Amino acid sequence: MTRILLRNGVIHTGLASAEPTTAMAVEDGRIVWTGTDPDGFTSPDEVVDLGGRLVTPAFVDSHVHVVETGEQILGLDLGGAPSREVVLDMVAAYVTDLGPDDLVLAQGWDETLWPDPTLPTATELDRASGGRKVYLNRIDGHSAVVSSALMAQVPGITGLPGWTAEGRVEREALRALLPLLADLTPAGHAERGARAALQAMAALGIGAFHENAGPDIGPESDLVAVQTQAADAGLHGTYYWGAHLGFGDLDRLDDVAGLAGDLSADGSMGSRSAALTFDYADLAGHRGHAYLDPERMAEHIVGCTRRGLQAGFHCIGDQAIDNIAQAFRLAETALGAETLRTRRHRLEHCELPSPAAAETFTHLGVIASMQPMFDGLWGGPDRMYAARLGERWQQMNPFRTLLDAGVRIAFGSDSPVTPLDPWAAVHAAVHHRTPGQGITPAEAFAAHTVGGWYAAGIDDAGTLAVGQRATYAVWDRTTFPDLTTPDVADVTTACLQTVVDGRTVFEKEGVW
C-alpha cells in the first residue's frame, strides 16, 4: 500500500467548520491524515509538492447522459446555433464526409434563441442532408426534428401522438424512433461516446457521476458501455435505469442503484410538454403532458423500496410534481415513512414544486437532483421560462426555498442538455436569476460534491476528512474561487489532476 503525502497546498476540505489545512495523506484509496505540519505524517512512500495549489473534493455530476454527451463531443453539436438557417447549413456541411446511408445524429438546437422560432421541416432536412436519415434532438431531449428518410423507417409513426407531417416528433412518436436509432448506429459507437465523455468529465475535476439511462433514452447496451468504460477510466459511476416497474430488466443489468432517473412523469418546458396546473403563457389551452398517474407511480415506489432500490422520476412542471407527491403519500400509507426515508428516493429536475409537495419530500427524505444551469440558461424575464410561463418563471428551480424547507439537493448538468462545467453550475446556483432563490457558495459547492454522494446512498465521500474516500481535484489556482463575483469567468478554473479513490484518472501533462 502506497502512502502519499500532499503538502504545501490549500486544502478545501468541504467541512463547514474545518481548520486551515495545507497537507493531506492518502493510503489505500482513503484519506488517513490532514493538517498544517507535513512532518506530522511520517514515512510517506511518495511526497507531492502542491506548490500552493488548491485541492477540493472532486465534483459529482448527479445527472448526466454519458453516451449522448460523447455523441455531442464527437459529432454534430447544434448548441448555440443562432437560427434554423444555420442549423440547416451545419447539417449540409456535416454530411459531406458521410456515406449516403450513414445516419446523421445531432443535438442541442434551441429555437427560443432564434429570431424566428420556426423549426426546420423534414423536407428542408431532406434537401440539406442529401436525402439521408437525420435525427436532430432538441436541447432538452423531449422533441426532435427528423428527415423523411428516417420517418419512413418506422411503420405506423404517422398515427402516433406527437407526430407531425413537418418532421417534428415528441412523446410516443419520439419513443418509437429510439430502437431504430440504436439499430442504425455502427458497432462501437456507444463505447467511443462514453469514453470521450468520461475523459471530458475527468479533465473538469468530475470524479463521480450518475448515469440516467433508460428505455426512453437508449438501449440497455448503452448503459453497459458506460459501465465498462467507467471501470476502465476509473470514474465512480452510479447507474439508474428509468423503466416503470422494470424489475425484470434487472435480471439483465448489473450494478443498478435504482429504477429512477429519467423515468418521465412529464416532459420539458422548452418543448411545452412539462405538465402544469395552468395554461402555458404562449399556448392557450395547453398544459403539457403527465405521463404517469399517482397510483402507477406509487406502485413503482413501493416495488423499488421493497427490493432495496431507489425509485425516482423526471419531473419539471408543478402538476407532475404534485402527482409524485401524491404517489409518495400513497406509498407512505403502504410502507410507512421511515421505510421510505431509508431508500433516499430521488427526483430529477423538480423545477416547479409547490410548497405542499416540498413538505412531502422533506418528510419522506426524497432528494431533488437539480441543474443550476437550467436557470442560468433559461431563467430571467426575457428568456425561455418567461416565454412559457409568464411571471411564474420566478418560481422555477427554487433552490433557497427547497433548502429552507429541508429538502436535500444534489447538482448535476443533465449533459448534453447543459455543458459539463461544474464551477459554472455552482456559480449559477449562487447567482440565481430570481431574487432570493440564490444559495450560499458553501451550499452550492456542497450540493455538487457531497450532495451527489448522498443522493447515491454513499456517506464516506465528498469531503476531505480522515476516513473519507480520497476523491479530489487539484486546481490551477491558490485560493478557493470567490463565487460571489458576478462574472463566471473569474470562477471557472483549469483542473490539473483528478483522483478517484486514490487513483489518478486525469493529470495535465507537466504538472508535477
Phi-psi region of 171 (alpha: psi -120 to 50; beta: other; left: phi over 0): left
For residue 182, the model assigns a pLDDT of 86
The CB-side HSE value for 152 (13 A sphere, CA atoms) comes to 10
Give residue 281's region: left, alpha or beta (phi > 0; psi -120 to 50): alpha
66-184: CATH topology is Diaminopimelate Epimerase; Chain A, domain 1 (3.10.310)
Nearest to 101 by CA among 137, 67, 129: 129
- Four-residue CA torsion sign, 150, 151, 155, 157: positive
C-alpha 371/C-alpha 448 separation (Å) is 10
- Which one-letter amino acid corresponds to residue 266? D
* Predicted local distance difference test score (pLDDT) of residue 40: 87
Q: Which three-class secondary structure state does DSSP give residue 364? A: helix
Distances from the Cα of 512 to the Cαs of 6, 30, 48, 500, 509, in angstroms? 12, 22, 8, 18, 8
Count each helix (H run) and each strand (E run) in the chain, helices first.
17, 22
- Beta strands (DSSP E) in 143-230 are 143-146, 168-170, 206-213
Residue 165 burial (CB count, 10 A) = 11
Q: Is the dihedral of CA 313, 316, 317, 318 positive or negative?
A: positive
Distance (Å, rounded) from C-alpha 190 to C-alpha 333?
Answer: 42
The candidate with the shortest Cα–Cα distance to 62, out of 450, 490, 475, is 450
Length of the chain, please? 512
For residue 30, give the H/E element and its range: strand 30-35
338: three-class secondary structure by DSSP = helix
Angle (CA) 62 67 83, round 5°: 95
- Can you tell me which residue has the cell 470521450? 196
Phi, psi of 192 (to 5 degrees): -65, -40
Domain positions in the chain: 3-58+467-507, 66-184, 260-455
Output the nine-digit C-alpha cell for 441. 457558495
Angle between helices 318-335 and 294-306 (to 10 degrees): 50
Q: In this predicted structure, what is the pLDDT of residue 187?
A: 87
Q: Which residues partner with 238 through β-bridges?
A: 210
Place of cell 424566428: 116
CB 85 within 8 A of CB 115: no
pLDDT in tens, the chain (512 residues): 689 999 999 999 999 877 789 999 999 999 999 999 888 898 999 999 999 999 999 999 999 999 999 999 999 999 999 999 999 999 999 999 899 999 999 999 999 989 999 999 999 999 999 999 999 999 988 899 999 999 999 999 998 999 999 999 999 999 999 888 888 888 899 999 999 999 999 999 999 999 999 999 999 999 999 999 999 999 999 999 999 999 999 999 999 999 999 999 999 999 999 999 999 999 999 999 999 999 999 999 999 999 999 999 999 999 999 999 999 999 999 999 999 999 999 999 999 999 999 999 999 999 999 999 999 999 999 999 999 999 999 999 999 999 999 999 999 999 999 999 999 999 999 999 999 999 999 999 999 999 999 999 999 999 999 999 999 999 999 999 999 999 998 898 999 999 999 999 999 998 88
Omega cis (within 30) before 416: yes
**How far is Cα 174 from Cα 418, in angstroms, rounded to an integer?**
21
Radius of gyration of the chain (CA): 23
d(CA 178, CA 170): 11
SS3 487: coil
Residue 500's beta-bridge partner residues?
Answer: 503
The closest of 115, 95, 112 to 103, measured between CA atoms, is 95
Using the structure block, give the residue that is written with the C-alpha cell 511518495.
46
E strand intervals along 324-390: 346-349, 367-370
217: its cell numbers: 433514452
Threshold 0.75, pTM exceeds: yes
- Torsion, Cα of 75, 81, 84, 87 (10° steps): -20
Tell me which of 3.40.640.10, 2.30.40.10, 3.30.980.10, 3.40.50.300 is the CATH number of domain 3-58+467-507.
2.30.40.10
Per CATH, domain 260-455 is 3.20.20.140: yes
CA 57/CA 185 separation, integer angstroms: 37
260-455 matches 66-184 in CATH topology: no
Compute the distance between CA of residue 276 and CA of residue 317 in angstroms, rounded to an integer.
Answer: 5
* Nearest residue to 185 (alpha-carbon basis) of 216, 222, 240, 215: 222
CA 385 vs. chain centroid, Å, equals 19
Strands 134-138 and 104-109 turn out to be: parallel
Distance, CA of 378 to CA of 383 (rounded, Å):
5
Tell me what pLDDT residue 512 has.
Answer: 82
Shortest CA distance to 392 belongs to which of 488, 269, 213? 269
